[in-house]
Amino acid sequence: METNSIIKVSISTYGTVNLESGWTSKEVSLPRQSATVEDVLHLVKLMDGRAVFDLIADKSGIRESYGIWLNGRVLSDRTALHTRLKNEDQIAIGSSIRAIGGG
C-alpha cells in the first residue's frame, strides 16, 4: 500500500481549452484524499483566472462540447468528474470529437 499522501497528475489541453488556458501541458500535485478529476479542474486555471472547470463543466457534469480523457479512456457520464485519481495519472482536456465532427 502506498503511504505517500501527495500524488502528481499530468494534464494536457487541446483545442479551445488550450487557447483559453495558454498552456499545453503541466503537472500538478494534490493531496491523495481529495484527488478527483473535478479537484484538478478546479486547481488548474485559464488565462483569465477562472478554473478550467468553469469552462468545460458545471454541476451537471461535463459540457457536451468538451471531453476529458483519463489515461486514454473517455470520461463521459455525470459521475466522471468524481473519478478518483492515482499517482502519475494523465488527464487530457479538449473539445469533444462530437463537437469537432458535428455528429
Q: What is the CA radius of gyration of the chain?
A: 13
Question: pLDDT tens per residue, the chain (103 residues)?
Answer: 455 699 999 999 999 999 999 999 999 999 988 799 999 999 999 999 999 999 999 888 899 899 999 999 998 777 889 999 999 999 999 987 554 444 4
What is the set of domains in the chain, with CATH numbers? 6-96 (3.10.20.30)
- What's the rounded Cα separation, in Å, for the pair 68 and 80? 9
